[in-house]
C-alpha cells in the first residue's frame, strides 16, 4: 500500500513556475514518454526533469534515480530535503526540495509522481499540472504480463487500482498511451511547450 510520509517541505508554495507530475499505473509507459520528452527538450535551462531519490539499488532496472539506503532516506526526510515523499511497494520515493529553486525562477519542472501522493503534491506546489497516463485495460494487462514480474493476481490488483478516480480539484491532463508511443509522446511534448510558452 502506498503511504505519503510528509506533505510539504519547509519552503513556501509561492513560485511562478509549474510542476508537472506524471502519474499512471506500472506498465503504462510513463518513463518512455518522459524519456522522449527529455531528449526533445535537451539543452534547455528553463526545464528540469527531476531525478528522484529512491531506496533501491543504483543499478536496478527502471528510471535513472539517486539511490539511498532506508536509513539515509529517513535522515533526508527529517532534514527537510524533500518537497514531497512517499512509500510504495516497500520503497521510499522523494522529490528533492531544490525543485523550489527552479520553480522560483519560473521554470517548468517534470517529475515522475504517484497517484496516492497527489494531495501532497498539491499542497507542495502552487502551480501543479497532473499528467495522467492511461492505457486500455487489455493493453495494460498484456504489457504487465510480458514483463513476467507479476502474478495474475498482482496484475488484476494493479488494473483495479488504475481505474480509481483522481482527485477532482486537480488540474489533470490525460494522455492515452494505448497505441503508438510517439503519438502519446507528442501530446506530452505539446503540453510542455505550451507551459514554457506561457512563462
Q: So what's the pLDDT on residue 6? A: 46
Q: So what's the pLDDT on residue 1? A: 36
Residues of the chain with pLDDT under 70: 1-15, 60-62, 148-149, 160-163, 199
Q: So what's the pLDDT on residue 56? A: 86
pTM over 0.85: yes
- What values do phi and psi take at 197, rounded to 5? -70, -30
Q: Are 82 and 97 in contact (CB under 8 A)?
A: yes
Eight-class DSSP state of 88: E
Task: Count CA atoms within 13 Å of residue 25 on its CB side.
Answer: 25
Q: In whole angstroms, what is the distance from residue 162 CA to residue 182 CA?
A: 22
Q: So what's the pLDDT on residue 62? A: 67
- 164-199 burial code (b ≥16 CB/10 A, e <16): eeeeeeeebeebebeeeeeebbbbbbebbeebeeee
Amino acid at each position: 500500500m502506498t503511504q505519503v510520509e510528509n506533505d510539504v517541505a519547509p519552503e513556501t508554495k509561492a513560485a511562478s513556475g509549474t510542476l508537472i507530475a506524471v502519474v499512471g499505473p506500472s506498465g503504462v509507459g510513463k518513463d518512455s514518454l518522459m524519456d522522449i520528452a527529455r531528449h526533445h527538450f535537451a539543452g534547455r535551462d528553463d526545464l528540469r526533469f527531476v531525478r528522484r531519490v529512491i531506496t533501491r539499488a543504483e543499478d536496478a532496472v527502471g528510471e535513472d534515480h539517486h539511490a539511498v539506503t532506508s536509513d539515509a532516506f529517513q535522515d533526508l526526510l527529517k532534514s527537510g530535503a524533500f518537497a514531497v515523499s512517499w512509500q510504495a511497494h516497500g520503497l521510499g520515493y522523494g522529490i528533492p526540495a531544490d525543485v523550489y529553486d527552479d520553480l522560483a525562477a519560473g521554470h517548468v519542472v517534470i517529475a515522475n509522481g504517484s497517484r496516492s501522493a497527489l494531495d501532497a503534491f498539491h499542497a507542495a506546489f502552487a502551480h501543479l499540472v497532473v499528467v495522467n497516463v492511461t492505457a486500455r485495460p487489455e493493453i495494460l494487462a498484456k504489457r504487465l504480463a510480458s514483463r513476467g514480474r507479476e502474478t495474475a493476481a498482482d496484475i488484476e490488483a494493479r488494473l483495479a487500482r488504475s481505474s480509481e478516480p483522481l482527485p477532482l480539484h486537480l488540474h489533470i491532463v490525460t494522455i492515452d498511451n494505448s497505441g503508438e508511443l510517439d503519438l502519446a509522446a507528442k501530446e506530452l511534448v505539446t503540453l510542455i511547450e505550451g507551459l514554457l510558452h506561457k512563462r
